[in-house]
Amino acid sequence: MPAIDPAILAQLFAMGGDSLRVALCAQLREDFTRLHGAVASADATEAARATHEVKGLAGTVGALRLAELARRLDSMGADLAAEARLVLVAGLRSEIDSVLQALTMTEGSICA
């Protein structure tokens, strides 16, 4: 299963021309890079907020595995033991890396 469902991404790209595609790819990379740091924030409120944001964003762009990880972390929230939380956050960040890689490749193919 790819990090981003190409069919869903293609639907989003179909809403506009190349300029939208390039701008959207760049914005997605910027947002996911920001969220990569924010989900591991020492500030629990900021981390929870970022996880919630990942959930909505990932689902929209077709990053379904990431959306599921974020959903799990978001729903368990404060009930998680610190160690379990660290494991889930690490998994979430690793998946954000995969999504960022997929976006870089997509961006390359648009500009090529």
Residues near other proteins (CB under 8 A): 11-12, 15-16, 20, 23-24, 27-28, 30-31, 49, 52-53, 55-57, 59-61, 67, 71, 74-75
Other beta carbons within 10 angstroms of residue 44's beta carbon come to: 11
**Residue 15 or 42 with smaller CB distance to other proteins:** 15
Tokens at 27, concatenated: 């914005």
Compute CA 44 distance to the chain's CA centroid, rounded to the nearest angstrom: 19
Q: How far apart are the first and last CA of the chain?
A: 25
**Residue 30 or 43 with smaller CB distance to other proteins:** 30
Output the smallest distance, CB 36 to other proteins, in A.
14
**Residue 15 or 82 with smaller CB distance to other proteins:** 15
Other beta carbons within 10 angstroms of residue 55's beta carbon come to: 20
Tokens at 102, concatenated: 């997929």
Output the smallest distance, CB 65 to other proteins, in A.
14
